[in-house]
Chains A and B, each alone.
Chain A
């Protein structure tokens, strides 16, 4: 919480941006799921996307990771530092998906097919309902995630069939890398067990480990703490902090568990009815009357009245039922 206080008003995530969502609109027939949404994800930050049920969070995720094609808007992923505004404008005009700038590439995600976003733009994701390869072992799951480098190493399978030394080396390295992530997620003892056999909390962590095996610049987590007990939640927090600190991977997460959100997020974006209603540090957002009204399902002036009567409005995990109950009707 102290970190948040120190943050200067000129927000860091607007200066060093890894992902920017610009004027994103997603329509399903007559339904507008996301409406003219813009926000930035700072490099090395943990950014949380929150909002009541049905606010359009997962739709934003699916647009960023290419599972939906946005109706309007631009989604830019930057590998190099800085805003690179000129480069992006030039790229937008060419109609290409990304530029050839060595390591400092920029990518226009709305133009790319989903698998290319993971392969080239290095955006990895997990799913709200866990999508592991249940019949494959934990180790195999992590090896599938390293498919593209391994395909190259096996010279598109031909070198692999003859078991050439180059492929053997790459394979050993891939297993080591998978073992590293199994170690970090505390799953190393279950490496040879089928993923469907793992307990729920382990499956969540395995999915994060699998996403990390694609060596992403940005990791998108869709409700990583859903269904976890308090101890597992704490472990998850530590894991995410570790990923951010030691691997420099930026994290964008959707989460309902306010305990997790408030504790680890550097930057919180709040959605309601497909529109951004608040954007700032955890503390700023927590005290924003718009957010409170969205979560409690009351009008803003009512919030003001309530705020006067009780000193400090607090959104914690405890107020969660309200979000499910009345959030949709206000």
Chain B
């Protein structure tokens, strides 16, 4: 190694590591060195100097090693770690990935039942949850990924869809299949109502106003006690029927088809409902992208002024994106209501909006398959944490992995942003081809920050 060491490398590295250690010392003083517990007659203060010094030493040592071997050296040892997949293989994977994922999705309940017969309900339920987020991600992708309108209040339409169905069922005894299109329609109308005043704003301003609208919907649901039940929520939301057949013990689906009653039937049915809804969302989005309206959305994301100079009514174009995105959010919402059987404003907090937006951004703006990967990783990842029993054997019985999910979330986001700032799938597929289809690198594609 000595040959590669530049003069001053060690001195530089030590200086840099010392600064890092100092920062840890200052910040860690209150977290590591001092600990307060509620004691008799006030707070008990305990000092943990050992822990504090260990943290400082780790920061110093780690930073020093990184400096010496990665950051400041001429030949970083991580140089060989970036995998370069040849272009041919890459496009091959890209072509195969979609159909393979679709095949897996179509047969998933049966795979799960065959592989994990004793935990099949749990896993199918998880698959339903992931698929709901896939659908929400695809819906939001129209607004954020294609039209470039940063919407931080998408969960409002999810809530409108869920409450539409719940209230229609409560007051008019309307079943799931009748309520589903109505919920979609109502969410789309709400999209237009909310969109009309706010869509003249751009970028950050739009984000803040949509955030506020999302909260307004939730607060109204919370406080309009006579109508929505407020914080008590609405329970007893009907389950979907299969062409009039309920999934009940007697006289239902199982009896009609001569099967033994098993509660798993309903889970499988719910899974296929959300799968079909999600696939419709995907199909419509892919079709719309190739139509003039979809191209206008993308043009709007690229340059709004140029759009207007070409005779495109930008207000209407934005409204269509907003309301179609809202419609899919609403459909997903009414599915959520029927799956849970109970909804309350608790389920529609800003955190939901943030998770859906994170799925879209991490997946790569405008990329359909990226959304799938991101939701499987993010939603599935949290659930996997619950099932890591072996960690308890290592860290002791008090260790609860789910407590660290936000930490892991944050770490994953930082890593993605460093490694792939434009999301997992970061190339754009042109919507029309003259001779040869070429992928467009994301460096050229605008993100809709508003020009």
A136 lies within 8 A of B298 (CB): yes
> In the complex where A135-B302, A161-B287 touch, is A118 in contact with B311 (Cβ < 8 A)?
yes
Q: Which of A117, A131, A135 contacts B428 (CB 8 A)?
A: A135
Is residue A324 contacting chain B, with contact meaning CB distance below 8 A?
A: no
* Complex interface residues of chain B between 148 and 164 (CB less than 8 A to chain A): none
Interface pair B293/A118, CB less than 8 Å apart: no
Give residues of chain B (288-311) contacting chain A, Cβ–Cβ below 8 Å: 288, 291-293, 295-296, 298-299, 302-303, 305-311
Q: Is A154 among interface residues, defined by CB-CB distance under 8 A?
A: yes
Q: Is B73 an interface residue (CB 8 A)?
A: no
Closest-by-CB residue of B relative to A146 is B292
1/0 per residue, CB under 8 A from B, across A179-201: the answer is: 10010000010011110110000
Q: Are A65 and B309 in contact (CB under 8 A)?
A: yes
Per the bound structure, the CA–CA distance linking A109 and B436 in Å amounts to 41
Given contacts A131-B309, A210-B310, 17 further A-B contacts (CB under 8 A): A115-B311, A118-B308, A124-B309, A127-B309, A132-B303, A133-B299, A135-B302, A136-B430, A137-B432, A140-B432, A144-B310, A147-B312, A157-B291, A157-B292, A161-B284, A161-B288, A175-B434
Q: How far is A192 from B309 in the complex, measured between Cα atoms in Å?
A: 23
Q: Which of B239-247, B259-267, B383-391, B437-445 contacts A (4 or more CB under 8 A)?
A: B437-445
- Indicate if the CB atoms of A196 and B444 lie closer than 8 Å: yes
Known: A135-B445, A144-B296, A150-B292. A192 touches B434 (CB 8 A): yes
Q: Does B435 contact A (CB under 8 A)?
A: yes
Q: Is the CB of B292 within 8 A of A118?
A: no
- Shortest Cβ gap from B305 to chain A (Å): 6
CB neighbors of B among A163-218 (8 A): 175, 179, 182, 188, 191-194, 196-197, 210-211, 214
* Contact partners of A127 in chain B: CB under 8 A: 305-306, 309
Residues of B with C-beta under 8 A to A191: 434-435
The residue among B302, B428, B433, B438 with the most chain A CB atoms within 10 A of its own CB is B302
Q: A139-B433, A139-B434 are in contact. Are A132 and B306 (CB under 8 A)?
A: yes
Instruction: Assess whether B295 is in contact with A140, with CB atoms less than 8 Å apart.
Output: yes
Contacting pair A136 B302 (CB below 8 A):
yes
**Chain B 42-74 interface 0/1 with A at a Cβ cutoff of 8 Å (1 = within):** 000000000000000000000000000000000
Contact status of A137 and B292, CB under 8 A, knowing A119-B311, A160-B287: no
**Contact partners of A192 in chain B: CB under 8 A:** 430, 433-438
Using a CB–CB cutoff of 8 Å, the interface residues on chain A facing chain B are 65, 67, 114-119, 124-125, 127, 131-137, 139-140, 143-148, 150-151, 154, 157, 160-161, 175, 179, 182, 188, 191-194, 196-197, 210-211, 214
- A193 CA / B434 CA spacing, docked (Å): 10
The chain A residue with its CB closest to the CB of B441 is A194
Given the known interface contacts A125-B309, A127-B309, A133-B299, the answer about A194 and B292 at a Cβ–Cβ threshold of 8 Å is no
Query: In which size bucket is the chain B interface?
Result: 35 or more
Residues in chain A near residue B306, CB distance under 8 A? 127, 131-133
A144/B295 in contact, CB under 8 A: yes
Q: How far is the CA of A247 from the CA of B450 in the complex (A)?
A: 35
In the complex, how many residue pairs between chain A and chain B have their CB atoms under 8 Å apart?
138
A147 contacts B444, C-beta separation under 8 Å: no
The residues of B that contact A118 with a CB separation of less than 8 Å are 308-311
Q: Judging by beta carbons under 8 Å apart, are B292 and A154 in contact? A: yes
Chain B residues with CB below 8 A from A135, complex form: 298, 302, 428, 440, 442, 444-446
Assembly CA distance A301 to B395 (angstroms): 94
B313 interface hit (Cβ, 8 Å): yes
Indicate whether A194 sits within 8 Å of B293 (C-beta atoms), given known contacts A136-B298, A179-B434. Answer: no
Residue of A nearest to B306 (CB): A131
Give the CA-CA distance A148 to B314 in the complex, in Å: 12
Bound complex: CA A193 to CA B307 (Å) = 20
Residues of B within 8 A of A214 (CB): 310-311
Which of B287, B430, B446 counts the most A-chain CB atoms under 10 A from its CB? B430
Q: Are B430 and A137 in contact (CB under 8 A)?
A: yes
| B431 CB–A CB distance under 8 Å | yes
27 contacts between A and B (CB under 8 A): A65-B309, A115-B311, A115-B313, A127-B305, A135-B302, A135-B440, A136-B430, A136-B431, A136-B440, A137-B440, A139-B430, A143-B292, A143-B295, A144-B310, A147-B312, A157-B288, A161-B287, A175-B432, A182-B434, A192-B430, A192-B436, A196-B444, A197-B444, A210-B310, A211-B309, A214-B310, A214-B311
- Least Cβ–Cβ distance between A8 and chain B, in angstroms: 36
Q: What residue of chain A has the Cβ atom nearest to residue B314's Cβ?
A: A115
- If A147-B296, A179-B434 touch, whether A131 touches B312 (CB-CB below 8 Å) is no
B432 CB contacts on chain A under 8 angstroms: 137, 139-140, 143, 175
**A144 with B312: CB separation less than 8 A:** yes
Minimal Cβ-Cβ distance residue in B for A188: B434
* Contact indicator per residue, chain B 270-298, by CB within 8 Å of chain A (1) or not (0): 00000000000000100110011101101
Closest residue on chain B to residue A119 by CB atoms: B311
Q: Which residues of B contact A140 (CB under 8 A)?
A: 295, 298, 430-432
Instruction: Look across to chain B and name the residue whose beta carbon is closest to the beta carbon of A161.
Output: B287
For the complex of A and B, the 6 pairs showing the least CB-CB separation, nearest first, are A135-B445, A119-B311, A118-B311, A191-B434, A133-B302, A150-B292
- Nearest residue in A to B313 (C-beta to C-beta)? A115
User: Which residues from A are CB-within-8-Å of B435?
Assistant: 191-192
CB distance from B61 to the nearest CB of A (A): 44
Per-position binary interface string of chain B over residues 407-437, scored 1 when its CB falls under 8 Å from any chain A CB and 0 otherwise? 0000000000000000000001011111111
**Residue contact A144 to B307, C-beta cutoff 8 Å:** yes
- Would you call B287 and A131 a contact (CB within 8 A)? no
Residues of A within 8 A of B440 (CB): 135-137, 194
**What residues on B are CB-neighbors of A117 within 8 Å?**
311
Instruction: Give A179 to B434 CA distance when docked, in angstroms.
Output: 8
Contact B295 A131 (CB under 8 A): no
Report the Cα distance A211→B446, complex, angstroms.
Answer: 21
Whole-angstrom CA separation of A133 from B299 in the bound complex: 6
List residues of chain B with CB within 8 A of the CB of A134.
Answer: 302-303, 444-446
Shortest beta-carbon distance from A194 to chain B in Å: 5
Q: Among the listed B293, B302, B314, which residue makes an inter-chain contact with A157, where contact means beta carbons less than 8 Å apart?
A: B293
CB-CB under 8 A from B296, the residues of chain A are 144, 147
Complex: A147 Cα to B309 Cα, angstroms: 12
B308, B313, B432, B437: residue with the most chain A Cβ atoms closer than 10 Å: B432
Closest A residue to B451 by beta carbon equals A131
